Amino acid sequence: MSTASTPTTTGDLPDMMAPELVADPYREYGRLREQGPVLRASFMGAGLTWMVTRYDEVHTVLGDPRFVNNPASVPGMRVPNPVEKVMESYGLSEQDAHYMVQNILSADPPDHSRLRKLVSRAFTVRRVGELRPRVQAITGNLLDELAAGPDPVDLTDRFCYPLPITVICELVGIPEADRPDWREWGRSLVSMDPRRMGPALHEMVENVKALIDTRRSAPSDDLVSALIRAHDEDGDRLSDEELVTFVVTLVMAGHETTAHLIGNSIAALLAHPDQLAPLREHPELWPTAVHELVRWCGTALLTGLRYAAQDVRLGDVLIKAGESVSPVLVAANYDPRQYTDPDRLDVTRQPTGRGEGHVGFGHGAHYCLGAALARQEAEVALHALFDRFPRLALAVPESELVWQPVPGSRRLERLPVTLR
């Protein structure tokens, strides 16, 4: 039986920044999963962590309140957040790094519950349903521009990014003139280039501060104005720093992962015409297909680190209070113990077991706030794109598609296609 001080692998510990894991996360994380459900590993210069690889164990960690997101929530633990140190190592100032680390994604109850409640009404199934006509209109405009433009075209640049960033910016209240900047800032933040990351985040924060000043004097029907009211009318509910952090987090989380989910899905369906064919014939399958695409080629491969708030036994491993764990979503979503033939893309696959049948959007208290919106955008975008351009095809061999070397994320650099 393993203990917290004994690795469950022999030889060198796996490095979650290793090039082979970044290049082929499906095969490499799958290989590690079959070594064991909980493995000792190194994580992005933040020290050692427990890598959790199998569906049942990942599902448990994500839903178990004994695992917290912020190490400060561990009783008696008084150490700097290691992820904040990683951010600083990439050129982010201590002050700016705080905006990336101390946000709703890393908060624990009661702060997490308080923050989530402030915006949850903007992302209910009903509210998202009301947004569908606007999502369809934005999609239609983008497809009109594609039809009138050059061929071949990079869909990442002309379609996959513009749709979700327009939707989330309209919802939050980012002016149209600022949206190209937000896209570039987002690219810089995931570039892993210290020369770009720090300046991008600083400019992003300053832009939000200016927007807040503007909305204070001229409120609008957007989420920023609603958050300002929550701050100004009941100041103990939202601090100045939380207000800025909230906007940064919502805009970044609301477009980056969705853009690449759409791009990854287009590439996957073009590479699997046998799966695209039933969707053309039976468009009512699109909602089911999107769930399968999230499982099979979703953007997020890992969650942020979680910390054991007390000693927790996970399988045969004792994880001691204060030790971190890294739930590996991609390994769980390909676990043959949970899925029949998990390596096969099957757009008719029905959920098995609990909830959605995958952990692509997480699980538990930190389940993705914008999951319903992301699914809707992907469904609308994919259905409309393949309907509008029935001859859509990759403009390069699938083997020549370039994947960004971003640990923990699956992102295409470009998606060149021919439309006609």
Residues 6+ apart with CB under 8 A from 371: 361
Write down the pLDDT at residue 61: 97
Q: How many CA atoms lie within 13 A of 324 on its CB side?
A: 22
Of 9, 14, 20, 52, the residue nearest 407 (C-alpha):
20
- With contact defined as beta carbons under 8 Å apart, do 55 and 313 qualify? no
Q: What is the pTM of this model?
A: 0.90
Taking the CA atoms of 190, 195, 198 and 204 in sequence, report the sign of the dihedral they define.
negative
What CATH homologous superfamily does 19-418 map to?
Answer: Cytochrome P450 (1.10.630.10)
Rounded to whole angstroms, how far apart are CA atoms 279 and 272? 12
Q: Which two tokens stand for residue 82?
A: 């290691």
Write down the pLDDT at residue 79: 59
Tell me the β-bridge partners of 307: 68, 324
Write down the pLDDT at residue 193: 81
Each residue's pLDDT, cut to its tens digit, for the chain (420 residues) gives: 333 333 343 336 787 777 888 888 999 999 999 999 999 998 766 678 999 999 999 999 999 999 999 888 898 877 556 666 666 666 667 777 777 766 777 788 888 888 888 888 778 888 889 999 999 999 999 999 999 999 999 999 999 999 999 999 999 999 999 999 998 888 888 777 888 888 888 899 999 999 999 999 999 988 899 888 877 776 557 778 888 888 888 888 888 899 999 999 999 999 999 999 999 999 999 999 999 999 999 999 999 889 999 999 998 999 999 999 999 999 999 999 999 999 999 999 988 766 788 999 999 988 998 999 999 999 999 999 999 999 999 999 999 999 988 878 999 999 999 998
